[in-house]
Amino acid sequence: MRNDYHNPDPEKLVAMFERMLVIRETEEYLGAQFRAGELPAGVHLYIGQEASGVGICAHLGDEDWITSTHRGHGHFLAKGGDPYAMIAEIHAKSDGICGGFGGTMHVADVSRGILGANGIVGGGLGIATGAAFAAKLEGNGKVAVCFFGDGAANQGTFMEAMNVASLWKLPLLLVCEHNGWSEFTRSEVATSGRIIDRASPFNIPGFEADGNDVADVWRVSGRALESVRSGEGPALLVTYTYRTRGHVEAEVNFLSQPYRSEEEVASWVAKDPIERGAALLAQGGIAEEEISAIRARVKASIAEMAKRARSAADPDPARVRSMMFSAAEA
């Protein structure tokens, strides 16, 4: 029976709103920490794009796989990753989810199906296709979801992944989070045609969603994932969104001139997915006090985790050499 992904019920909407807030609070904190000189490296923030990852991951369980991008904090948290372990990782602490070995661009939690943020643009395409092949062999309904940006859609592996996944009918959802920028290059300069139109030549269904509307993302990705889980093969979903922060928080330090207008950024801040999420909650009859309580709870929780993470121990350099091969640690 085909589900009607008409609207998320209020309970689902509240859960997604809270998850978006967790991402926002965590990243606002990380951005501030970077600007205060408290992080060893710049961070690529997902601020403005939260609805995309959250709306999609709301359909996934720990057993499903995702691959992410260098802007991966949001996917990690949307898929159920532990904010404390992620914050500790970015603070380069031993409590970090990767023990301080990976950092901001490599947050991963294999036990929750998070095969990692990835510093190579398009790096997740092959990995997700392989995980989808594994899921297909297991035949137990798992899916792999590959998050990538419109920049990565110009990598050859995007075409290769669509070809193989379609040929082999792999349970793969390709999610292009179209934020209009390939680092500092505007999408119109880098991309010919429309990315969504690249699906049909491979007999892959294409879906499009308003990436700043968590309910729309949830609805459309629900349909896309239903198609993927049914054994019909992969689907491509393009979510249209925008990063309201820079490509990387460090960019003000090295860019000699602005690459986008304040008006452009402001036009997207006006479509902020969290405020739109709050409006949806209000429309759904959730009281203003309850929404404020969620905000306050998330804020306090992230602040507490951040405090704990800052005082966690540094990783032990003695572990570095043993980390390359499994036999070495055994």
Partner 1 sequence: MAKRRMIQAINDAMFEEMERDPRIVLFGEDVEISMFGDTKGLRERFGPDRVRDTPICEALLTGMAVGMAAAGWRPVLHMMFANFMYTGFDAIANQMAKLRLMTGGQMKLPITIMAGFGGGRSTAAQHSDCPYPLFMNLGGVHVAVPSNAGDAKGLFKSAVRSDDPVIFLEPGGRGGEMGEVPDGDHLVPFGRASVRRSGSDVTIVAISAMVKLAEQAAKQLAQDGIEAEILDPRTLVPLDEDGILASLSRTGRLVVVDEARDRCSAASQIAAVAADRGFAMLKGPVRRVTVPDVCMPYAPVLERSVYPNAERIADVVRELLNCRDYR
Under the rule (CB under 8 A), what is the footprint of partner 1? 65, 67, 96-102, 106, 108-111, 115-116, 118-120, 123, 125-135, 137, 144, 156-157, 160-161, 163-164, 167-168, 320, 323-327, 329
Q: Considering the complex, what minimum distance in angstroms separates the CB of residue 303 from partner 1?
A: 25
Cβ proximity to partner 1: between 10 and 99 the closer is 99
93 and 315 in contact (C-beta within 8 Å)? yes
Cβ proximity to partner 1: between 110 and 313 the closer is 110
For residues 81 and 68, give the distance between their C-alpha atoms in angstroms, rounded to a whole number: 13
Angle at 49 between CA 198 and CA 214, to 5 degrees: 90
For residues 270 and 245, give the distance between their C-alpha atoms in angstroms, rounded to a whole number: 14
Q: Considering the complex, what minimum distance in angstroms separates the CB of residue 142 from partner 1?
A: 8
- Structure-block tokens of residue 169: 């009918």
Cβ proximity to partner 1: between 108 and 220 the closer is 108
294 and 18 in contact (C-beta within 8 Å)? yes
Cβ proximity to partner 1: between 6 and 321 the closer is 321
Distant-in-sequence, close-in-space partners of 15: CB < 8 Å, separation ≥ 6: 58
For residues 96 and 86, give the distance between their C-alpha atoms in angstroms, rounded to a whole number: 6
Cβ proximity to partner 1: between 189 and 328 the closer is 328
